Amino acid sequence: MPIEAPITSSIMVHRDRLPHLRDPNEKINIWKVVKESIGQELSKITVPVYFNEPLSFIQRWAEDLTYNEFLLRAADHPDPRYRLALVSSFAITSYTTSEWRTMKPFNPLLGETFELEQDGFRLLLEQVSHHPPISALHCEHEEYIFWASVQVRTTFKATHLLVESQTKYHLILKPHNDHFVWNKPQTRVHNIIFGKIWVEHNGVVDVKNLENGDFAKVNWKRTGWFSKKATEVSGSVYDCYGSEHYKLEGTWNKGVDIVNNRTGEVSEAWRVYPFPEKKIA
């Protein structure tokens, strides 16, 4: 349902860091908490508050629009396959901070909402179900409409934390009536018991334009025994007949380039924004 309230032009100043940061020397005994929870879903487990970052999940989810200006670039481009390449690249940007943000956001309360007006868009998120936990997102801009509902399942395994997102993202670019849909990769958080915690995302994300049948496949590479590819992504953009037009090359934590198959020209899709000087690690 469209958001009818007008978009205001007032400027709000937002803080870029918390007033108090986590003590980097703090020792947390994760094993004491998880040893009885192997194989269980995280939303059903009571964990100490120091396991959480000071954000609700729906507030953190709003960060998916951090790189929203690339949607405006897509809306303004005449080539439908390049628009698909930009949207496919945008779908990667929501993971840029996950390399060092390994703490769990708080579970939202049923009916909890978060609203954000910024960069010409209005965003509303709500926790719409408690069991199972489901969140909904709706965003409107003069150039696009963006919406999704998500059910995240987080499970403790013997060696890692597995995060699976059951969701479909939808994006309509108004100038072209393009309607894109895509899914999310799996996430694994390693070394939750011993060693330095690190994150990887893996799987294939399918991005499709329902308006003309064009599609893209983005491969999130998993670390192997003899290689370190934990942040690499690569993809291909096809027309509805299966002919490849563009390639995507890069990493989910640094940036992505778009390569024109016909000319070999390389253009920048995005580069990661600089983080605050002090961040929670």
- Going by C-alpha positions, the residue among 163, 167, 133 that lies closest to residue 150 is 167
| pLDDT by 10s per residue, the chain, length 281 | 555 555 555 666 777 777 777 766 666 666 666 666 665 666 666 677 777 888 999 999 999 999 999 999 999 999 999 999 999 999 999 999 988 887 888 989 999 999 999 899 999 999 999 888 999 999 999 999 999 999 988 787 767 788 888 889 999 999 999 999 999 999 988 887 777 888 899 999 999 999 999 999 999 998 765 455 679 999 999 999 999 999 999 999 999 999 999 999 999 999 999 887 765 54
Domain contains 111? yes
- DSSP string covering 255-274, please? EEEEEETTT--EEEEEEPPP
* Encoded amino acid at 129, one letter: S
CATH of the domain at 96: 2.40.160.120
Residue 72 contacts by C-beta under 8 Å, 6 or more apart in sequence? 141, 143, 144
Q: At what angle do helices 69-76 and 80-90 cross, to 10 degrees?
A: 170
Instruction: Give the residue numbers spanning the domain of 183.
Output: 30-37+49-271
Domain contains 114? yes
Give the pairing of strands 104-106 and 52-56: parallel
pTM of the model: 0.86
Domain contains 197? yes
**Total domain count, the chain:** 1
Coil, strand, or helix at residue 230? coil
Tokens of 166: 């059951």
Domain contains 42? no
Tokens of 191: 């070394």
Coil, strand, or helix at residue 65? helix
Domain contains 2? no
Q: How far apart are CA 60 and CA 16, in angstroms?
A: 14
As a 3-state breakdown, the chain gives helix, strand, coil percent values, each rounded to 5, of: 15, 40, 45
User: What is the CB-side half-sphere exposure of residue 269 using CA atoms within 13 A?
Assistant: 30
Return the pLDDT at 153. 84
Domain contains 92? yes
Domain contains 20? no
Return the pLDDT at 99. 86
Domain contains 256? yes
Return the pLDDT at 131. 86
